[in-house]
Structure formats: C-alpha cells, structure tokens
Structure 1
C-alpha cells in the first residue's frame, strides 16, 4: 500500500499540551509587562519549530508582534547576528508609523538592517545604556567594542519602544549554530529584561550542545537569571506517537505498521515522518534520514567512528571490555573515543554499558558498514560470547552474531536453545522467531551439525505451538499443515498422531477453520485407537472430546473425555487429564448441571497448574468464568475472567486463544455492567495477526459508539467487516456495532440494511446463532424508527418497506431463539433480555409501541446489563408518552439520564433530553424545559395527529366527522402557524416543538 505522508505542520498539533501551556503563559506574562526569556531545548526533529509555529500563531491572534530568526550551520566564519538580522528585517519595511519611528531613531541598527541609514555617532555615554543593573547579569565579553554596545542598545531600545505599544515575541531558532556575536547579543538582552512587554524565546538542539560547545557556557549563565525559564521538549509518549503517525498518513495504517513506526521513531516526529515517507521497514533507514544522521558523525575523530561501528554491530548495549576486544583500539584511544561520543550525545551510558542515544543512529551506522566489516565484527562478538560464562540471553546473542557472520552450524544449535529459554521466560513470540530462523537455515547445516533430538518435523510442531500462543493463529495453522505434509511414511504412529492432533488444535482457534478440525483429529485417533494408554492417546482423546462437543456430538464427546481422563491418569499425563476435565465441565454446563460443571472446572485448573499445562489452565479458567457469564452472574464472571487475564500475562500467553477470549469477555462485561474502561488503548502488540487485532477490537466498537466517538467507530467498523469471515465474534461486532452506529446517527434505513447483511454473515458461519437475537433486535428497533419517520413524512412506500423489514427480522429472531443452540442448553438471561427487546421493538412497527412490552424488556436486562436497560427505559418512556401517560415517563427518563451522565453515554443522553423536551418532563439536575406556547387549537392538533399517521384529508374528515374542505382549512392554518410549506414538514415541526406527544387512536 502506498502511504503518502502529510507534512507534520499540516496536521493539528499532537500532544505538547504542557509545553505549549508554559509558552502561552510566558506570552501572557509579557502582556502584563513581565518580560522574560524562555530557552526551548530538545533533540533534532522532536518538534521545536512546530511548537513555536503554533505559539506564534496564537500570539499573533492576540495582537502580538512576532519576530522570528534562525541560525544557520555555516560553521566558522559565519554571518554575525544572522538570526537577529532576519528577525528584525520586517521592521525596516513596515508601514506601522510607531515601528518606523523607533527604527529611524536608532541608526546603529543599520548594521543589521541595510535599509536603515547609519549616521556617525559621538562616543556613547555608557551610563545611558538601558538597564545598567550590571551586578545581576552575565559578564559581557571583554572584546566587545563600543560599536557593538551601540548596536546592542539599539536592539534592546527598539524592542522596548515597540513593546510599549504591543506585546513583542522574539523567536531565535537553532542557537546551537549561533555565532559568537549572536550569543553576546542574546546574553545582553536576557540580562536586561525587566518590565517590557517582551518575550525572547531561543531554541537549541540539546544533543548538539556537548561539554565544550560554546553555547554551553552561555546557557549555564542564563539559567541563573530569574527572568529565564528552560522548557525541555521530550519525545512523544507512545500514545502521542501513535496519534501523530495515524494523523500523518493519508491512508489508514494497519496496527502493525503503526506499532513499527512508533517503535522505530522512538517518539521523534521528524523520524516518524521520514520513516513513513519511505515506507521503511526492517533494518532499512531512509536514505535522506541516514545521511542526516551520519552527517553528525562525520565531524568525529576516525577512532571514534570506528568504535561507533563496533557498537552498531553489537545491536545492544556493549561493555567496555567487549569494545576493547572487538574494536582493536588501545585503552587510551578507546577511552578518548568513547569520551568524545558521549560528550557529543551520540552514545549514552546505561548501567555501565554503552549504547546509541537513538536506535536510528545505530541503524544508520550499521547500514553504512561494508559487508566484510559486518561479518568480521559479528564473528568477533560470537567468539567472545562463546568464551564467556553463560547468562540470560546468552544463546540468543550467540545465535544473532553467528547468523550475521554466516556460521550456521553454531547458529542452529543456539537458536533452538534460545527458543527454549524464551518459552521459559514467558515470551512465546520470541521463541517463534528463533524457531523460524532455525527452519530457514536447517538445510544449510549438515546432519552431523544439527542439535541432538531435533528434526525438521519437531521444529514445525514447535513453530505451530508458539504461533498459536503468541497471537498468530493463521501461522499456527500453516506450520501445523506443513508438519502433516512433512510426515515420513515410516514414522512412529504415536508421534504421527501428535502431529495430526496439533493440526486439529490449531484449526480450533478460528471459526473459519473449525470444520476442518474433526477430520484432523479423527486421523490422529485412528493412529492410537487400538493402543494402550499413553501420553499420545490421552492427548488425542482430550482434543477429540473438545472437538466433538463443538460439533454437538455430546454423547461421543463425553465418552472421549472420560476415556482421556482414565488414560491420562494411567500414563501420568496431568495436562491431558486437565484438558478432558474442562470438556466434562462444559458438557455438564450444557446439561444444566451447573454445580457439577464448576467442580470439574476448578479441579481442571488445579491439575493443569500442577502439570505446567498453562494453555489448559487458561481454558479451564475461561470456561469457569463462562459458566457464570451464561447465567448472568456478572461479578463472579468478571472476577474469573480477570484472574485468567492476569494468569495469561504472568505466563506470556496474553495473546493465546483463551488469553484473548478472557480479555475480550472482561471488556464486554464491563460495557454491559456500566463499568466502562476509560479508553480503548489496550492494543495488541505488532506481532499478533490482524485477525487477533480485530477480535480484540470487537470489545471496543460498542463502547466507541455508546460514547459518541462516531469518527473512531466509522474507521473501526469497516476494518471489522473486512475480517468478518474469520471469526464469529468479529462478524457479530461488525454487524451489531454498525447497526448501532447508523441508528444513533439517525440513518435508520442504513441500520436495517446493515442488520440484514450481518444476519447473512452469521448464517454463513453459524446458522441460527444465538447472537442473531441481538443483531435482529437492534435491526427491529431501527426498522420501527424508520417506519415512524416515514409516517411523519406521509411516505407510505417507505413505511411499508420498514414494517416488512422489521417483521422479517422478528421472524429470524424467533427462529434463532427456538432453534439456536445455547452453550448451556437453554437461553440464558442475556438471550432472554434481547428476545424481549426484539418483541417490544416490533410492537412499534405499525404505530405506537406497547409500553408493557418495553417495561418487560427493561426488567429483563435487570440482571446487571445497566446500559441496555437504560435504552429500554428510554423506549418505555416514549411508548408511555405516546399512550398519554405523563407520570411514569419521568421516572424512566430520570433513570436513563442519570446513567447516561455517569457513563458519558453521549447519544443516549441526547436522546433522553430530546424526549424529555418533547414530553415537557423536567430531568434531575437540568433546568426544567421552557413552557411551549401552544400555537394550535385542539381541532388543528387533532387534524395533525391523523396526518402524522398518513391519513388523507378525506380520511381525517371521516374520523373527525367534518368535511374534507374543513380539514384543509385547519391544516392550512396549522402549517401557517408552524411556518411549514408541506404537510410532512408541519408534522415534523409540531413533534419537535412538543405540540404532538401522542398519536391518534
């Protein structure tokens, strides 16, 4: 995908709220005649100019005069006073009489402003120089001549005089390149700021001001002055960097792209722009950025650059001893080289080790190495690692340097050992990368050089396992399939069965591949069915029971699970026993034997933990939580889901299937129960697959819509739609989230269309899925709203289409409720509540809804689903008002409004307030609605009520026992009073003004 970045200054300022606030405060103080100097420090590319541009625009908007000048990197012999000359240049050509007079009165400015005529001046009386309070200012250099002092006084004088009429902001950028004359003039100004309406801002690159840099001494002096403030601009935090990258790209980025750009740029906006512009990935640094980074290093001594190349090859923090060995420099030369690199802010020292200040510097230096240099240095590091005592990460480092130095024999053994270590440390993603590298070089290593006990088949199986538990189910399936294809015909049956079992287990991770799992597990079962109890037979039986339960072959699943328990106990395989116990617990839940189910699940957790079967332990915790979830026992379910999430994080299985499932349901229950998370910031890391990312996003789409963050939801819903065939959760969220988004935006016809589309997706994945009840209920609500709006417009065709769609959706909902297969065998509280909501919404398809049905729906959500209950209260109040009840709606709207306010549920709150206004109901905490002047007579209102139902003039006359002509007269008068030109417009205005609160009978 081609990503076209926007220039950073072309997008709104991201982050920097604190720094901008401090600068604005300095401008405000200057406006109160409190002059000061601000020194803005930050790395190259961190956004100093962008921040100052924003500040300058603010200051100009407040009437300040902003003068900006920049220093240039002209090194020795540069132009003196360059930034002051650039900043003050507009003064020489201004049309402002005050400024022109101030400039003319100071001929010494001709040294800076060529258009100003310089006149010979008498010896100045130094006592007349501005602000002679010398004891509190930095000492001026002894080589200043009287001409310079005249110029300095002229600059201060002209700025002071102008500041007497308006605030002046003088901005001097890139002071690290300032010449000596510029530094002296800045020192002079900063020391003489008192009560002028003047602010001086100087920016500089902190990393360029090394210990002996000429600006450093001036900064030390300036910061001692009371009127000088230092503001440090740090790199973006992760959230700010992500927002910057997403705003910068013209086209949407994947989560992996964003994470990669954020990680590599390390919060530096300029680096992010350059990386995005080049679409760089891996070890490549954009050519322009690399040249810029390397240019700084060209000024360093040759030995220093040699040391930097050695550190770049290390790829990590390096000890002094390692550098001495690899660089080949003597101790004195090495010390001087390191000292220079540290003083120039190229290297930093962390815990006694040396590393680059920014990772992109390391990448640039590494990319500039000759191939032979790289190979030799990597080989030197590998030799040193082999000779040193082993420690944490030893094998991974050895594998890295051996791979880069083409020593594949050493690398292969190191890689498989590094993968084992990574798994023990709870880093399955890292283990997967090591195994993948081992597979890449397997054929390049002769058989006698391969690690003992390993073959390609074992590597493929391990890769499938690591991919599955690190959040990449598609790759897990691909590796497992490759392992099956690599099975030799003479392989031991038990081992072959475990290969097929791994494939079956991998296929379970995605709904789109579940149908392939039964075939794979049956092939495994054929290989061990006639054997004695063994590790392989126990695991195959346990996985087979899990798959058979998913197929609803419950009797066979029960037999397989019990047999697995028996075999596992005989063979001493605690993990397989625990897995079978989980399935037995789930089967007991399906048979409504809830207590038995939970006892088995608790036992499964205990046995899995004892056996070190972490994946099984998470599965047991998940199903235990699900048992409470299905019964609407939200607090207990949430506690168990959180326990599972914490355990997954502890063991490195955060993005395994049950780690994801537990996290997903935890967020979903918080949404349901009204304990809404503050932000959707918990994103999967860049190593997980796009499918896993979308699965996690299903937990957030409803929160985004409910909070009124429609722009974010509009970006997320299409992403979910694109992955809808991968997983049932994604299909459900893409459809229900899309329906809710369109509904709250007032596009009810589009909401119905999305509902029909979503039902089609669900039918493809799981016909008569219970989730279809929720999707259908949301669609029926939209159809009822669509029909009501059409009736207001007297659009008979649209109203008919809406009613027809709603009735069709109701039939589907009832079909799902009757023939769907709830996990526990019966429809739980959540399903019952959504069914009641569908019936209540359907009662409003052809006219006012039934208040009793909406009351029943609100009560059904009383198991703890407070947000959905509040929406039902809103509909209940609407139905009561339509029925002429003006008492009970007050309570319902009050409850709904209180919850909307607590949760910041913007769309719900707006809908509640609109209905309260129409019904003239005072809500707690809000001013009572203003009394609406009743413009209509009783007869005019009666006519409009019937017109709202789509009646013709003749039909209205027949119902009211008046002539058609009289109806026309009443209608014309009502339209004139309401300022409407059409019948439908008059009805809409009357509803909006609260003049119509119920439909005609």
Structure 2
C-alpha cells in the first residue's frame, strides 16, 4: 500500500457518540406516552447499556418534565432524589397553589419555610407520618403538572422513594406518565421496585423495554459518529464489538482510549487501529477510564479524585477544599475534565458523566488520600444548615473517625426510624455494631436498638452473632456488661435459628442482669417451647418465674411482654394463652408498641394454625397485615407471606400457591430453618398434585434437613408428611421408621398438640404392621396429652386414630360413626385435605367389608373433593380404585383446574357474592381468610366465566 493511501495520526477531537440502535425502542415509548394519560414505561438494562441516553433522546421531544436522578450513594438517603429534583424544579414555591397539607413539607424543604403553610400537628405513628408526607409531595407534584416524570437509575432509590412512586402511580384520580430506568441485576429481592414493575396499576398502560447490547453494525455506526462521521473498517468494528460486547459505555470509553493513545489511523478513507494485531484493548471500562485518567494533567486528576471521593454532585468550592489545589488550579482541572467528557456540569454542580467513571477513579486513590478526602467531605457537610446524617456517617467511617461515624450513624438511624424507614435504621446500626470495634457496654446498648423484624440477611445476622460472641468471651468485661452482652447474643442466636445456644446464653445472662425488665425478657424467651430438647414443663417453669417479676412501666414494654407470654403459652398447648391473648390491644399510636403488636399477631396466626383455630389465624393474619402496612419491616413481610401461604395450604386454597411457596423457599434473606416451612408446603402440594417423581427424594432431603435444626412443629410436620407418603405407597417399613423418629421428638417435648397429623399416620402404620396393641397405647397417650385443652387439630387427629382402631371391630356402623366424627372434626376447622383422606380411608374400609354401594358413593364424593381441591395425584389414586369397581369417571379438570367448566366453583361463588355487595378484594380476602392474590385470581376467573368486564355487573347466578 502506498504512503498516499495512508493518513497518519488520529482525529484532532472526538465527537459525542450519535444515538444509534435504539430507534425502535424510542418510537414504542413515544407511542405509549402520546396515547395514554396514565402510563408506566420501564426501561431496564445493565450497566452502561444506554438507558440514560435513551431517556435523554426522549426528553428532546417532551416539555414540562420532572427528572428524578437516583445517585449511587453507598447509603441511600430517605426521599433525597425526589427532594433534590423538586427543589431544583420548583424555584419559587409561592407560585404554586398549595393547601395546608403542604406544611408537612417543612422538614424536607427548610429553605422554603417562610413560604409554606404552618407545620401540621405531629403524629406519633411513623406510618401515618410517612403517608401524610407522601400526600403532600403528591400535591406538590400535581401542582407542577409535569407532562412526564422520569426516574433515572431507580435501582439506587431508597425504600421511601420507591414507596412514594408506588403511591403516585396507584392513585386512581391522578394522570401521571412515568418513565423508570433501572438495572434488574442490582435489585434486592425485597426491593419495592418489584411491586412497581410487576403489574401496572388499574387504568395504566405499561410498557417494558429491555435494552440489549448493540450489534456489529450499530457498533460501526456509533464509532463512526465519534470519528467525524468517517467510516471504520468491518474488522475494526468487529474487534471493538468483541472487546466491549456491544455495551455503549464500554465502546465509547474504548474509542476515547484509542484516541488518547494516538492508536487510530485512516487507511483508504476508513479508520482502523494502527496495530490491530498487537495492541490489546483493555477489556473493562475501568481499565479504559483509568488509562484516560492517567493521561490528564495533575489539576484534572486532583479534581476527579476529589469528586470521586465526595461521591455526589459537588460545587467548585468543595473541590478546592478537598483537592488541596488553588481555585485557579481547580478551575483549570475542571476545564480539562469537562473537555474530555469525564465530568458534566449542571448549574453550579459537577458530577461524573457515569457512575462507573467515578468508581474507577475512586478505586485508584491511595488509602491515605481517600481518608483525608472523606474527612474533609464530612467536615464540609457538617457546616450545612441541614446536614445529611447518613452521608456524614459514611464519610467519617471511611475517614477512620469512629466517634463521629458512630454518632452520625445513630442519629441517622433515629431519623430513619421516625420516618418509618426501619430497614435503613437497622442497616446503619448494624454497620456500626459489626465494624466499629465498640466498647462492650456501647455494643450492648446499640445491639438492643436493632429491630429484628427489619434485620434482613442471614449473613449480617451471623456477623452480629460473631461480634457479640467475641465481646462475651473477652476477659476484661464487668459482670453486668457481660450479662447484657449475653442477653443480646441470645436474641441474635434465636433470630438466627440457633435456639439451643440461645437458651444457653440466656440462662447464663440472667444472674448478671441488674435490670429487671431485661431479665424478664430473657425469662420469657426461655419460656418459648420452640427449638430445644427441653420438655414443656421446663419452659413453663420459666414462664412461672417471669410471672413473679414486676411488669414494665411503659405500655409498649408491657405489650411486648404480653406478646411473648401469649406466644409461649399457646406454643405449649396451654388454653390460658387464649385468655391472655384477648388483652392484646387492637391498635396503637405508639410506633414501638405497633411493632410488638405486628409481631404478636404474626405469632398468634402461627400458633392458631397449630391449634387448628383458623378463624383466629385468619383474623390475626389480616390484623398483622394491616398493622404492618408501610412499616418498612421486610422480615415481617416475609413472615406474613409465609403464614399466609401456610394458611392457604392448610385450608385448601391452593390456586397459585405452588409458585408462591417455591419463591419463599428460595428466598435467601429468610433464615434456613424458616425456609423449611414453605419447602414442606411445596413438597406437600407436589405429592398431592402429581406422581411422586422428584417429590419423594426432595421430601426425604427436607426431613433430614429438618432433623438438623432445633425442634419445631415443622420438623414433626415434615416427618408426618414423609411417613404418610411412604404408607400410601406401601413402604410400610419406611413409614414405621420415620414416624417412630418423629414421635420420639414429640415424647421428648411432651407437646401432643404437635402430633395432630403424626399420631394418625403412626397409628395407621402400626395397624398395617399388625401391632394393634401399640396403636391403642399411642392413642391413649395422645388423648391423655390433649385432654381438656380444647385443641381442634389435635382432637381431629385423635378422632382419626380412634376411627382406625374401630375398623378392627366387625361393626361397620360403629366404625362409620367414628369416621364421621373424624371427618367432621377436620372439616370444622376447616382442613379439607386431611378430611378427604380420612373419608377415603373410610370408603376403602367399607369396600373391604363388603359395603360396596356406600363405599363407592363415598369414594366418588372423595374423588370430586380432591379434584376440586387440585390434589390430582390423590384423585388419580381414587379414580383407579373406582375403575377397579367398574365405576367410570371423567377427568374434566385434567391439564388444569377446570372441573367446573363454564360454571362457578363454590369458592368463586363466595367471592362474587361478596364483591357484588360492594366489598373490595382486600375486604373479601379478610372475610374469607384468603390472600388478596387468591381472591383476585378467583374473581378474574369468575368474571371471565360470567362474561362481564366490570365489578358493577357482577350478579351471583342461580
């Protein structure tokens, strides 16, 4: 090739890349926004894929836009993105017509104080306070009347901001068009963004755009746009695409790196790399950014390091303070950083063009310089009229200033808690407790502030246990302080599921606890029957001892004591627990007492299901859900979902249940011993609904897993389910072995309410093995254990045992009466699945003794019940028996639960009846003790069958 065809050097400057490869997405978004008054557009994609650039192009054709940018703070700040956006947009708040409700905005916008209405009366309930702030913010947004609300990088939004977005999007009277950008891979499992992106609010058009990487052709076009619109070779484009995987940001940074290194040249009119076969392009954006950064002048590098350390939009004066440069040097450095497009300016604030650029620069800063920068940043922020407490805590932590870190973190936690953001509050406290190397007394004090209902994450919980353990084992701790540390260690261990060690620490702590109230809390924890090999009587001894301690003075503390005592008594099968439960308050304005009440109703729903009192369980679940609404307690939300799923499983509301429990069983934020509950429910559904397949080995694994954890009812339930399925499949030896192991645990605890389902399975296995004497003995033992306690579930189990024993007599009528009592006992709760299995056994007994006609009729009814329930595998077993006796039955529900065809099922009729009376889905759910999701599914099915599209048109058919 001649020299004339080769042009040396690189372009004198690079252009901003053109908008390429997204025309179709932009057109689809504009179409929805133009067509709908209420629209929700979701733009999702990974780092650097071009979400923000797509939004920038969108904003070229839209006016009156409110843009909420969510920065990547190391700690998200409550409502900060919304506050900043509104402050920058409103200007003079006096031009807006605001109602007295806007007075609630005074703490958020102190600079508007003289122009806002007076502050309304303070509310003691954080949830109500937050709701009032949301209403005030919504009024402010409505007054601005933006044609479009854009939330960029929503994955970094704090929980309160996401709750506000949910509030704005779900208001039926507001016409909002909202565009969200976010990274799905960075969403926490508990993020409220899932609720916003999962389903569009009623009347809202939703569009989801998933951005993929650019193709080779788009890569070529984008690079050409940066190089003065001159073409690039195909080989060069393919090379860049392979190295950057078509990610626009990585592509842009790589081209800039090549330009800075003068590694571009033109050959025959096309841009190519000078040494395509030899020079390696850095494989990551970080490498590219850092190489560009190192080529800048000292002033620009100093400015970039200061901006990266500050971690947010920063003004020039702060850059001067942090960088150690003179004002002129900072000005020069800013000019260079802006010229090479590493920084951008908005008003008087400077920020990185992309978070990745800032992170790459920060990672290159030496530890000593970073500490100095964070200290200065913290001191600058301290001077603000309204210092950002969480950011101060973060800066002083990185500066190594532990006292100021701890002080600001605790203040930030108190502020977050008072705003109803308990998750942020607990996260701030945990960071201090886990990493600040506190003195023992201070560690115990802060650990007591941790609300475990919001302490999500198994790893952090284990870290807390390890930290407290080290403090307890230290040799120079005063006895009273050690007692407090042991108590906190016992709390942490209990929440981590290690009940045995928890009990050990609590017993050791009590003698050293000078505070009677703390000692009382420890005693009540020792009175809880779950998780140890103690007998029930030993737990009762601790409850009796706690009863002799003077009750707390504060009402919220008395409620906590009552909750702990009721839970323990009912877990021990003590009827007196119901009398004490009646004294739980219905509601409270005190935030701490509300937390205890939520926990109390969660626990009450759990033990009520154990007793078989599903009316109480349903009411308690509904009450807990109401009290917890907006409380910011992810762990409580998880427990509510667990209990609701268990309630639906036991009461036979199986629509959509399998997917819910599988999701819960896979949720790693839930401790492993707690995840056993949805796992066992999932396996039970699998057994009832499909042939054994993978269900049997999965259940055997769950049983072995359950035995590794401390004793709880779920351990016995797993053993009961496995033994039952062995028995149904004819594996008698396995059924005897598993039921024997599970029964040994019940006898150890002497808690026969745990054996409601185990006792019938064990008796059936013993009778099948010919050991009627042992079966009768177990039945007597069970009856003695529950006598006079009024436990419906245990009484149904006992009635089933007696009915199976009655089979051995020749009197069919006597056995039938016994079976009828057992069926009635299960049905009254209601527990439809065990009731149907007992009726099946009754019918099989009738067939075995020659009572063919009633046996066939009963078995046919059982088939119908199992089919309606969705227990396909069980129904198949019954169907085969009917076929053996010459009875042919169709399978109208096979391949899906369609057994009623175009007719309403009984459950659908119940829902329609209540909706036709004007009740909401949630009110129907509470009335029928079902989940709102189940009611919604059944209502949709009913409306489809009835051919109506509006709730107003619903009429219960004859």
TM-score (norm: length of structure 2): 0.52
Instruction: Work out the CA distance in 1 between the residues paired with 2:616 and 2:678.
Output: 22
Instruction: Work out the CA distance in 2 between the residues paired with 1:635 and 1:716.
Output: 30
Q: Which residue of 383, 406, 411 corresponds with 1:412? A: 406
Instruction: Work out the CA distance in 2 between the residues paired with 1:765 and 1:556.
Output: 16
CA contact (8 A) 1:897 1:912 kept: yes
Offset from partner CA, 1:736-793 (integer Å, 9 cap, x none): 344456567x473575166246416725963565334423434565788xxxxxxxxx
Within 5 Å, which residues of 2 pair with 1:445-524? 455-463=439-447, 466=450, 468-469=452-453, 470=455, 502=488, 513=499, 517=503, 520=506, 524=510
Give 1:98's aligned residue: none
Structure 1 residues 181, 373: CA separation in 2 closer, same or farther (over 3 Å shift)?
closer
CA contact (8 A) 2:423 2:634 kept: no
Offset from partner CA, 1:469-516 (integer Å, 9 cap, x none): 42667666666656655697767x6x7776665566566658863587
CA contact (8 A) 2:720 2:757 kept: yes
Q: CA deviation at 1:671?
A: 0.7
Instruction: Work out the CA distance in 2 between the residues paired with 1:760 and 1:289.
Output: 67
Offset from partner CA, 1:800-834 (integer Å, 9 cap, x none): xx615x769846853651454x5x96252211222
Give 2:205's aligned residue: none
Give 2:653's aligned residue: 675
Give 1:260's aligned residue: none
Q: Which residue of 378, 385, 409 corresponds with 2:381? A: 385
Structure 1 residues 891, 435: CA separation in 2 closer, same or farther (over 3 Å shift)?
same
**Greater Cα shift, 872-881 or 473-482:** 473-482
Give 2:758's aligned residue: 775
Q: Which residue of 641, 659, 684 corresponds with 2:621? A: 641
Structure 1 residues 291, 731: CA separation in 2 closer, same or farther (over 3 Å shift)?
farther
Give 3-state SS (helix, strand or coil) of 1:604's partner. Answer: coil
Within 5 Å, which residues of 2 pair with 1:728-739? 728-739=712-723
Instruction: Work out the CA distance in 2 between the residues paired with 1:438 and 1:646.
Output: 32
CA contact (8 A) 2:344 2:350 kept: no
5+ unaligned residues in a row in structure 1: which ranges?
Answer: 1-21, 23-40, 48-170, 184-202, 214-287, 444-453, 529-535, 785-801, 929-1001
Give 1:921's aligned residue: 887
Instruction: Work out the CA distance in 2 between the residues paired with 1:44 and 1:505.
Output: 40
Q: Which residue of 746, 755, 769 corresponds with 2:738? A: 755
Instruction: Work out the CA distance in 2 between the residues paired with 1:711 and 1:319.
Output: 58
Give 2:217's aligned residue: 175
Q: CA deviation at 1:640?
A: 0.7
Instruction: Work out the CA distance in 2 between the residues paired with 1:848 and 1:367.
Output: 84
Give 2:685's aligned residue: 703
Q: Does 1:578 align with 2:559?
A: yes
Q: Which residue of 850, 867, 872 corresponds with 2:838? A: 872
Q: Which residue of 537, 542, 549 corresponds with 2:516? A: 537
CA contact (8 A) 1:558 1:584 kept: yes
Give 3-state SS (helix, strand or coil) of 1:908's partner. Answer: helix
Q: CA deviation at 1:397?
A: 2.2
Q: CA deviation at 1:620?
A: 3.5
Q: CA deviation at 1:861?
A: 1.2
Q: Does 1:837 align with 2:812?
A: no
CA contact (8 A) 1:464 1:480 kept: no
Instruction: Work out the CA distance in 2 between the residues paired with 1:298 and 1:479.
Output: 38
Give 3-state SS (helix, strand or coil) of 2:685's partner. Answer: helix
Q: CA deviation at 1:638?
A: 1.4
Offset from partner CA, 1:179-215 (integer Å, 9 cap, x none): 79999xxxxxxxxxxxxxxxxxxx96566788999xx
Q: Does 1:616 align with 2:579?
A: no
Instruction: Work out the CA distance in 2 between the residues paired with 1:384 and 1:582.
Output: 47
Bigger relative contact order, structure 1 or 2 (CA pairs below 8 A, ≥6 apart): 2
Structure 1 residues 517, 903: CA separation in 2 closer, same or farther (over 3 Å shift)?
same
Instruction: Work out the CA distance in 2 between the residues paired with 1:836 and 1:368.
Output: 73
The structure with more radius of gyration: 1
Q: How many residues align?
A: 621
Give 3-state SS (helix, strand or coil) of 2:635's partner. Answer: coil
Structure 1 residues 714, 425: CA separation in 2 closer, same or farther (over 3 Å shift)?
farther
Structure 1 residues 622, 557: CA separation in 2 closer, same or farther (over 3 Å shift)?
farther
CA contact (8 A) 1:648 1:654 kept: no
CA contact (8 A) 2:736 2:765 kept: no
CA contact (8 A) 1:348 1:356 kept: no
Offset from partner CA, 1:862-885 (integer Å, 9 cap, x none): 121112222233333333333444
Instruction: Work out the CA distance in 1 between the residues paired with 2:695 and 2:332.
Output: 58
Q: Which residue of 824, 840, 845 corresponds with 1:859? A: 824
CA contact (8 A) 2:819 2:839 kept: yes
Give 3-state SS (helix, strand or coil) of 2:757's partner. Answer: helix
Give 2:848's aligned residue: 882
Q: Which residue of 577, 581, 590 corresponds with 1:601? A: 581
CA contact (8 A) 1:395 1:418 kept: yes
Q: Which residue of 643, 666, 670 corresponds with 2:644? A: 666
Instruction: Work out the CA distance in 1 between the residues paired with 2:709 and 2:310.
Output: 41
5+ unaligned residues in a row in structure 2: which ranges?
Answer: 1-23, 25-42, 50-212, 226-244, 256-279, 530-535, 895-958
Structure 1 residues 332, 660: CA separation in 2 closer, same or farther (over 3 Å shift)?
same
Structure 1 residues 507, 920: CA separation in 2 closer, same or farther (over 3 Å shift)?
same
Q: CA deviation at 1:418?
A: 3.8
Q: CA deviation at 1:423?
A: 4.5
CA contact (8 A) 1:510 1:726 kept: no
Instruction: Work out the CA distance in 1 between the residues paired with 2:375 and 2:512.
Output: 50
Give 2:393's aligned residue: 399
CA contact (8 A) 2:487 2:506 kept: yes
**Greater Cα shift, 900-909 or 835-844:** 835-844
Q: CA deviation at 1:356?
A: 8.1
Structure 1 residues 688, 179: CA separation in 2 closer, same or farther (over 3 Å shift)?
closer
Instruction: Work out the CA distance in 1 between the residues paired with 2:774 and 2:281.
Output: 57
Q: Does 1:907 align with 2:885?
A: no
CA contact (8 A) 1:419 1:434 kept: yes
Name the Cα RMSD after superposition.
5.7
TM-score (norm: length of structure 1): 0.50
Structure 1 residues 902, 311: CA separation in 2 closer, same or farther (over 3 Å shift)?
farther
Instruction: Work out the CA distance in 2 between the residues paired with 1:212 and 1:592.
Output: 69
Instruction: Work out the CA distance in 2 between the residues paired with 1:693 and 1:482.
Output: 28
Instruction: Work out the CA distance in 2 between the residues paired with 1:889 and 1:897.
Output: 12
